Structure 1
Amino acid sequence: MTTASLATGLVLGLSAGLAPGPLLTLVIAETLRHDVRSGIRVALAPLITDLPIILATLFVLSRLAQFEWILGAIALAGSAFVLSMGYASLRTQGLALPSRDSAPRSWMKGVLANALSPHPYLFWLSVGGPLMTKAWALSPIAPVLFLGGFYTALVGAKILLALAVGRSKVFLTGPAYLLIMRLLGALLVVLAAVLLVDGLALLGWTSG
């Protein structure tokens, strides 16, 4: 279970780190407007903003532990959310590069962009939180490995993209990026199926 938790965290983190979105756009914009270090500072924003979200999510889920039908519904929502991530990854055609003339972005704006985005809240409530709760029931180290893998991949992917953009903008529309996103999309579809089975079992619709 510990290995599975680490692998799941890495896949989800890498997918979130490479997927187009407001924070990734800021990473690229800062790199183009200023330098790679500016892009890296924005990439670190989730390490600041996500902790309160994670703690709040785990608190809510602990209160719902006795209501398996609610947890089942959350698992089904998580399955749909991950499936949508997988579909988006499979459909990715590359990233549109922001103009060098865009307004300057600061590290604080990166923090605000991530804190005000609905994505972290949806992810931790429907996917990340339930996975950590399930992992904790089997091994105390499993949720730690999940978190470590997730944020290593999430932040690391954005830092690597900042470095890649600093060297060449072609990577974002090239075959390597598209191949990575296709592979991640396929893995996310498999994970969505696992969450679907968990949700149906919690609802009592399958034997689990």
Structure 2
Amino acid sequence: MPYLFLGASLGLSAGLSPGPLMTLVITTSLRDGFWQGLRVAIAPFLTDLPIILVSLFVLKLLPNWSLTLLGVAGSLYVVYLGWETIRAARHASLEQLRASEQSSDNLSRQSLSRGALVNLLNPHPYIFWATVGGPTLLAALDQGAAYAAAFLVGFYALLVGSKIGIAALIHSQSRTLSTAWYQRILAALGILLIALGIWLLYQVLTGATQLT
């Protein structure tokens, strides 16, 4: 099916692209282990349905300032996550990482909720579904529900699957890291998150009129 291939291609591209959710997957996998990174990676399953609905039926009707406000909130939250990651890096240790493999349910919920919040506040999914995903999905629906389902299955299988693969790769490599390098990587990821947040904020403030 062409729509299955199209969805898979778009999903893989989005899944491997640098961004707030990808960086949070890597950071969480390093800090808290693979299973917590996986919980962040599956966040699109929880958040994208309302994002798709909003993008298809509401987003075009909203004034520019609404998406601008959402983008500003998301950008500032990403900056906050970066600052928090840098703070945690100062006292991080591989012993804590390995001990967290047997983490509590509270940590599991925290990882999942963080991933969901980052994805929900990130303007990129809204832009994607308003400009690319939405029109493609509607075109697939015109040919039949099976075509639309194929597009969605292909997209999310590769979007989430690629992030889970990254979480597994990062976690497996963490076994060969020294504590010093572990702290440096966390600090670098924190800086990257802050840079991404600032970049997103710049995009929102300079290009808000193009997002709706």
TM-score (structure 1 length as normaliser)? 0.59
> Which residue is 1:164 aligned to?
173
Whether 2:82 is the aligned partner of 1:76: answer no
Tell me the distance in 1 between the aligned counterparts of 2:15 and 2:36: 25
Distance apart, 1:123 and its partner CA: 2.5
Tell me the distance in 2 between the aligned counterparts of 1:105 and 1:78: 32
Tell me the distance in 2 between the aligned counterparts of 1:73 and 1:195: 11
Tell me the distance in 2 between the aligned counterparts of 1:102 and 1:17: 15
Distance apart, 1:52 and its partner CA: 3.7
Distance apart, 1:81 and its partner CA: 1.8
Alignment check: 8 A CA contact 2:82 2:190 kept: yes
> Which residue is 2:32 aligned to?
26
Distance apart, 1:159 and its partner CA: 2.6
Distance apart, 1:190 and its partner CA: 1.7
Structure 1: any 5+ residue segments left out of the alignment?
A: 28-38, 204-208
- C-alpha change, 1:14 and 1:87, in structure 2 (3 Å) is same
> Which residue is 2:129 aligned to?
133
Distance apart, 1:173 and its partner CA: 0.8
Tell me the distance in 2 between the aligned counterparts of 1:12 and 1:147: 19
Q: State the identity as a percent.
A: 14
CA deviation vs aligned residue, 1:86-106 (integer Å, no higher than 9, x gap): 354367142624276668348
Tell me the distance in 1 between the aligned counterparts of 2:160 and 2:136: 17
- C-alpha change, 1:186 and 1:17, in structure 2 (3 Å) is same
Which is richer in helix?
A: 2
Structure 2: any 5+ residue segments left out of the alignment?
A: 1-9, 138-151
Q: How does 1:87-166 map to 2 (within 5 A)?
A: 88-89=81-82, 92-93=86-87, 94=89, 96-97=92-93, 98=96, 104-105=102-103, 112-115=109-112, 117-121=113-117, 123-136=119-132, 140=136, 152=162, 154-166=163-175
Alignment check: 8 A CA contact 1:9 1:147 kept: no
Tell me the distance in 2 between the aligned counterparts of 1:150 and 1:79: 25
What is the letter of the counterpart of residue 183 of structure 2?
T
- C-alpha change, 1:167 and 1:122, in structure 2 (3 Å) is closer
What is the letter of the counterpart of residue 201 of structure 2?
A
What is the letter of the counterpart of residue 192 of structure 1?
L
What is the letter of the counterpart of residue 22 of structure 2?
L
TM-score (structure 2 length as normaliser)? 0.58
SS of alignment partner, residue 18 of structure 2: helix
Alignment check: 8 A CA contact 1:18 1:158 kept: yes
Distance apart, 1:83 and its partner CA: 3.7
Tell me the distance in 2 between the aligned counterparts of 1:138 and 1:103: 39
**Number of aligned residues:** 180
Distance apart, 1:16 and its partner CA: 1.9
Distance apart, 1:188 and its partner CA: 3.5
Instruction: Provide the aligned C-alpha RMSD in A.
Output: 4.3
- C-alpha change, 1:87 and 1:200, in structure 2 (3 Å) is farther
Tell me the distance in 2 between the aligned counterparts of 1:124 and 1:147: 19
- C-alpha change, 1:82 and 1:46, in structure 2 (3 Å) is same
- C-alpha change, 1:99 and 1:173, in structure 2 (3 Å) is closer
